[in-house]
């Protein structure tokens, strides 16, 4: 089994008719740790699922943490709006809101029927928080790339500014800013996106004025076909962008050494081997990437190479790193569970404390997991896990459960399966001893065993999938002595997709 395009709709309804049966709502969602809800869906339009929120991103600068996410998920792509939640005291308390002038459901109303794929960054030079997102004109395109700016510490955001409105189907944006005062490109902000109209060609646009205006998008000399890049900026100003190839069979690395004016040809960082996940959950294998104080880049993804046969829906979390974006370590298995345990790990969200580095780097990782792969949409149990390292990933703490179990039919249904997130995020306030993961938790829908209509995909209005974190100071970065000495089999191969993937 291999990953499918996040937009491909062929035979999806038939898949669910064959898989979903004898639905039960007897399981009660619970948190293994105390949780703090930081947002929920306030919208009531009947065209999308309520109350639902999906795929959060976070960023921390100083004591401020800003999270952003989709709100009111549509069956065939996007949400009713983009939400945000902000803590100015390292996660102790939170305020929340929703972007203005974005979609027709926003206050005030904006021009777009739907919004998707929120990402957040901070421009230290201009003191501006930036949320980048996609404005969906129709589910088949065009799709514009936009940013909304906050000049008051992430407490409110203004109307959007255009990054790219080429009329193409633009996809999977991600933003970052150069926050190193010693960098020659201090104050440059970068937004990566993929032009699906042009076969997922990688695009990188640059702003030098706090996101008010954006330059023409640049691509690689070979017009690399990609999906899901996460640009990061080293202290010397070099942009390193870990990114999937567009068939999700390899992790590539693309760089810019001149402030985003040109991009290098990609180098291979690692082969990507993923044999899918149980229960018809939507889970593309997008990389999660972060950077430490020295500029070392860390990448985590979901991979099956250490499991027997690599064809059972049993995937692990893998880590690679690089000091220059060109030379990468061999993939190392993160020991969240033993090899052969039958546990399936998916959708990682990595954090690195940017005040630490190298063999003393502090890493925190949130992820979802299935305790058993032998399950169906009505029996699979989805949990939230967390694990940490204080030595750059050389060894790890014991994994702990943050939330769950959740039944998949509590999640909103999309054309690509039941959706909780395409990506997750964790942030560490620099120098702090705890992590702030942000994730979605679903509870049983009111008066029904499923969030959406499983026969038609029609949206439900009584779902309960909201955005949560852990209380400040609860989730310590403790590390531990757990290591993985597993050796990957040499005869593993994985078929590629028949067409490029997309990411809404």
Q: Which three-class secondary structure state does DSSP give residue 279?
A: helix
The DSSP string of 466-483 is EEEEPPTTTSB----SB-
- Nearest one of 297, 283, 317, 312 to 234, comparing CA atoms: 297
- Nearest one of 105, 93, 182 to 136, comparing CA atoms: 105
CA–CA separation, 226 vs 267, rounded Å? 12
CA–CA separation, 307 vs 188, rounded Å? 42
Q: How far is CA 504 from CA 55, 75, 228, 413, 499, in A?
A: 10, 11, 10, 14, 16
The 3 state secondary structure assigned to 222-278 is CCCEEECCCCEECCCCCEEEEEEECCCCEEEEEEECCCCCCCCCCEEEEECCCCCCH
Q: What pLDDT was estimated at residue 487?
A: 59
Residue for token digits 């499991």? Answer: 307
Q: What is the pLDDT of residues 397-445, one digit of tens each?
A: 999 999 999 999 999 999 999 999 999 999 999 999 999 999 999 999 9
Which tokens hold the place of 378?
């009505």
Residue for token digits 């255009």? Answer: 162
In angstroms, how far is the first alpha carbon of the chain from the final one?
21
Q: Which three-class secondary structure state does DSSP give residue 51?
A: coil
- Nearest one of 288, 71, 81, 295 to 179, comparing CA atoms: 295
Do the beta carbons of residue 65 and residue 59 sit within 8 Å?
yes
Low pLDDT (below 70) residues in the chain: 1-33, 486-504
The Cβ of residue 437 has, within 10 Å, a number of other Cβ atoms equal to 28
- Nearest one of 109, 84, 82 to 97, comparing CA atoms: 84
What lies within 8 Å, CB to CB, of 341 at 6+ separation is none
What lies within 8 Å, CB to CB, of 281 at 6+ separation is 346, 380, 382, 408, 411, 417, 418, 419, 420
Residue 268: exposure state from Cβ atoms within 10 A (0-12, 13-18, ≥19): exposed
What lies within 8 Å, CB to CB, of 490 at 6+ separation is none
Q: What is the pLDDT of residues 303-347, one digit of tens each?
A: 999 998 787 789 999 999 999 999 999 999 999 999 999 999 999
The Cβ of residue 150 has, within 10 Å, a number of other Cβ atoms equal to 22
Q: What is the pLDDT of residues 93-146, one digit of tens each?
A: 999 999 999 999 999 999 999 999 999 999 999 999 999 999 999 999 999 999
Residue for token digits 């395109």? Answer: 141
CA–CA separation, 383 vs 346, rounded Å? 10
Q: What pLDDT was estimated at residue 110?
A: 98
The model's pTM is 0.92
Q: Which three-class secondary structure state does DSSP give residue 317?
A: strand
Residue 309: exposure state from Cβ atoms within 10 A (0-12, 13-18, ≥19): exposed
Which tokens hold the place of 151?
């000049």
Q: How far is CA 405 from CA 36, 345, 444, in A?
A: 17, 14, 11
Residue for token digits 């926050």? Answer: 179
- Nearest one of 160, 177, 29 to 99, comparing CA atoms: 160
CA–CA separation, 205 vs 472, rounded Å? 35
CATH code of the domain occupying 12-469? 2.120.10.10
Rg (CA), the chain: 20
CA–CA separation, 204 vs 229, rounded Å? 10
Which tokens hold the place of 486?
């597993």
Q: What pLDDT was estimated at residue 492?
A: 53
């Amino acid at each position: 089994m291999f990953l499918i395009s996040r937009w491909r709709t062929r035979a999806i309804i038939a898949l669910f008719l064959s898989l979903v049966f004898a639905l039960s709502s007897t399981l009660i969602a619970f948190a293994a740790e105390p949780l703090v809800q930081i947002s929920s869906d306030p919208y009531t339009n009947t065209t999308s699922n309520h109350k639902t929120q999906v795929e959060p991103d976070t960023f921390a600068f100083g004591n401020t943490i800003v999270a952003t996410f989709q709100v009111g998920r549509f069956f065939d792509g996007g949400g009713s709006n983009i939400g945000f939640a902000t803590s100015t005291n390292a996660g102790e308390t939170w305020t929340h809101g929703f972007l203005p002038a974005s979609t027709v459901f926003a206050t005030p109303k904006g021009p777009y029927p739907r919004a998707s794929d929120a990402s957040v960054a901070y421009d230290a030079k201009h003191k501006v928080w930036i949320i980048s997102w996609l404005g969906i004109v129709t589910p088949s395109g065009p799709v514009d790339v936009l940013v909304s700016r906050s000049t008051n510490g992430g407490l409110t955001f203004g109307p959007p500014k255009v990054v790219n409105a080429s009329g193409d189907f633009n996809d999977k944006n991600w933003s970052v800013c150069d926050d190193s005062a010693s960098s020659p490109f201090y104050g440059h902000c970068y937004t990566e996106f993929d032009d699906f109209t042009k076969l997922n060609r990688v695009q990188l646009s640059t702003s030098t004025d706090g996101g008010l205006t954006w330059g023409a998008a640049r691509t690689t000399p070979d017009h690399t076909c990609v999906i899901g890049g996460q640009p990061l900026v080293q202290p010397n100003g070099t942009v390193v962008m870990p990114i999937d190839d567009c068939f999700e069979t390899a992790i590539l690395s693309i760089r810019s050494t001149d402030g985003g004016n040109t991009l290098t040809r990609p180098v291979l960082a690692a082969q990507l081997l993923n044999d899918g996940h149980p229960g018809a959950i939507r889970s593309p294998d997008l990389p999660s990437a972060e950077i430490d104080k020295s500029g070392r880049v860390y990448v985590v993804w979901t991979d099956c190479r250490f499991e027997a046969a690599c064809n059972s829906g049993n995937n692990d979390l893998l880590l690679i790193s690089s000091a220059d974006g060109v030379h990468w370590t061999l993939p190392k298995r993160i020991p969240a569970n033993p090899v052969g345990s039958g546990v399936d790990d998916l959708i990682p969200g990595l954090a690195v404390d940017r005040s630490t580095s190298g063999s003393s780097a502090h890493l925190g990782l949130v992820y979802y997991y299935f305790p058993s792969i032998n399950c169906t949409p009505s029996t699979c149990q989805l949990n939230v896990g967390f694990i940490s390292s204080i030595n750059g990933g050389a060894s790890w703490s014991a994994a702990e459960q943050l939330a769950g179990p959740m039944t998949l039919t509590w999640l909103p249904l999309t054309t690509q399966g039941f959706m909780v997130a395409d990506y997750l995020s964790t942030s560490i306030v620099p120098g702090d001893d705890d992590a702030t993961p942000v994730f979605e938790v679903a509870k049983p829908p009111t008066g029904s065993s499923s969030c959406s209509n499983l026969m038609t995909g029609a949206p439900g209005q009584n779902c309960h999938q909201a955005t949560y974190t852990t209380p400040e100071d609860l989730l310590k970065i403790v590390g531990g002595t757990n290591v993985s000495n597993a050796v990957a089999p040499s005869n593993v191969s994985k078929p590629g997709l028949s067409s490029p993937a997309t990411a809404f």
